[in-house]
Chains A and B, each alone.
Chain A
Amino acid sequence: KAGVTQTPRYLIKTRGQQVTLSCSPISGHRSVSWYQQTPGQGLQFLFEYFSETQRNKGNFPGRFSGRQFSNSRSEMNVSTLELGDSALYLCASSLEGGLTGELFFGEGSRLTVL
């Protein structure tokens, strides 16, 4: 079955702009989580959505936001981009969410902020 799909794969923005990234989970998975990966900070949890509700949030500023649609697809948005937002943004899906099981990751969206 198809895996987690993230679009776009690569994008370049300038400081002050905003960006929207999209994630389609594995069919039947209802939980979607987002992570930021940078060389300096490694992988850090952004937020998790389940049934269109944000259930959990990491320690990121309010410029980072997300949402989930009724078909479980999710988007994340970063407003007023800063140079430090350059990173690989990874989306992961799981069947039910909660403290249950395996996360399946997409290939990521690589954002470069100039």
Chain B
Amino acid sequence: KQEVTQIPAALSVPEGENLVLNCSFTDSAIYNLQWFRQDPGKGLTSLLLIQSSQREQTSGRLNASLDKSSGRSTLYIAASQPGDSATYLCAVEGDQTGANNLFFGTGTRLTVIP
């Protein structure tokens, strides 16, 4: 069964810092990997989707990379802002587990201090 791990579980940084969130998965037979953010008590907002054939995706201050062979993804956030404070979740979709059956990590809770 696919296991997804996110390190660290929590992270506090001062505003303006660049930071990296890590995600690892045990089964490299994935179709895609998505990064989401979740604000307290809210649903998930999709940030970036990386197909298994891609190496990275960028959106604004966010850059996500994928190394399928080593089972790792990173989410890089540049020039962090207090509004970036949220829980960040990565999720992988296996190519054998059927439609939209995403396996989620437990998340990294990010706090950006003004």
* Contact of A98 (CB < 8 Å), options: B45, B89, B99: B99
The range of chain B's interface size is 20 to 34
Check if A94 is an interface residue, CB within 8 A of chain B. Answer: yes
Interface residues on A, range: 20 to 34
- Of the candidates A44, A92, A108, A110, the one whose C-beta lies within 8 Å of that of B100 is A92
B76 at the interface (CB under 8 A from A): no
In contact, A58 and B101 (Cβ under 8 angstroms): yes
Instruction: List A90-110 residues whose CB lies under 8 Å from chain B.
Output: 90, 92, 94, 97-99, 101-108, 110
The answer to whether A50 and B99 have CB atoms under 8 Å apart is yes
Summed over the interface, the residue pairs from A and B with CB atoms below 8 Å come to a total of 68
For residue B100, which residues in chain A have a CB less than 8 angstroms away from its CB? 31, 33, 45, 48, 56, 92, 94, 97, 103
Q: Is there contact, CB below 8 Å, between A105 and B45?
A: yes
Say whether A15 faces chain B, with CB atoms less than 8 Å apart. no
Task: Verify if A63 is at the interface (C-beta below 8 Å from B).
Answer: no
Q: Are B101 and A56 in contact (CB under 8 A)?
A: yes
Contact of B106 among A42, A58, A106 (CB under 8 A): A42
CA distance A4 to B107 in the complex (A): 22
Question: B79 contacts the other chain (Cβ, under 8 Å)?
Answer: no
The answer, yes or no, to whether A43 is at the interface (CB within 8 Å) is: yes
Judge whether B61 is part of the interface by a CB distance below 8 angstroms.
no
